[in-house]
Amino acid sequence: MKKKQKEVNEARVAELVRSLLVELGEDPDRDGLVKTPMRVAKSLAFLTRGYRQTPRGVLNGAVFDAGANHMIVLRHIEVYSMCEHHMLPFFGSCAVGYIAKNKVLGVSKIARIVDCFSRRLQIQERLTEQVAEAIQDAAGAEGVGVVFKCRHLCMMMRGVEKQNSEMVTSAMLGSFRTDEKVRQEFLSLIQ
């Protein structure tokens, strides 16, 4: 896993955006664009904040003794990320399930782990695996299942222009991979 990165130099990013506008044939001094370079810089800093986060940091100690040894599922986690190939958004939802071994994660922390990895330039396949591994590590879980369903603007607004395409990826670790009944229970719960 990459180490936490330094803060974004928004002034430098704004300069680069201004230069990009010129290269695209725009006038960055026209009324509607004067503040655009800094707006884009701030937006990109927000959209890539996952580079400046770690799963441990977003967990903030919210791992609790629970005596639980059953499946825990969080569905419909909203996902917003950016394709690393075209820097266009992809978005959708994620479901995370795990079988606790006496420790449970704070429920909001599961969504924060998803955000930690989705707020980076990504491919959905890697994102799915990263979330599964982080949940497994954080909870010490017997098994983990993660499913992402996303729509990619790089497929919709350019290239092949397929408006209704949805990519589905899954990662199954531990008992979710090795035990068909566990996997089926998880998949039925997220439907």
pLDDT digits (tens, 9 = 90+) for 91-138: 999 999 999 988 999 999 999 999 999 999 999 999 999 999 999 999
**Mean model confidence pLDDT for the chain:** 95
Nearest to 92 by CA among 124, 65, 55: 124
Distance of CA 180 to the CA centre of its chain: 27
Strand bridging mode 63-65 / 103-105? antiparallel
Write down the pTM of the prediction.
0.93
- 4: confidence class by pLDDT, cuts 50, 70, 90: low
DSSP for residue 52: G
Topology classification of domain 61-189: GTP Cyclohydrolase I, domain 2 (3.30.1130)
Enumerate the domain spans of the chain: 10-47, 61-189
* Cα–Cα distance for residue pair 15/11, rounded to 1 Å: 6
- 8: confidence class by pLDDT, cuts 50, 70, 90: very high
Cβ neighbours of residue 56 closer than 8 Å, sequence gap 6 or more:
138
Which ranges in 3-123 belong to alpha helices (H)? 10-23, 36-47, 55-59, 107-118
- 6: confidence class by pLDDT, cuts 50, 70, 90: confident
pLDDT digits (tens, 9 = 90+) for 67-84: 878 999 999 999 999 999
* Residues forming a β-bridge with 90: 81, 152
* Cα–Cα distance for residue pair 13/8, rounded to 1 Å: 8
Any idea which residue has 């290269």 for tokens? 23
- Contact between 63 and 102 (Cβ < 8 Å): no
* Residues forming a β-bridge with 89: 82
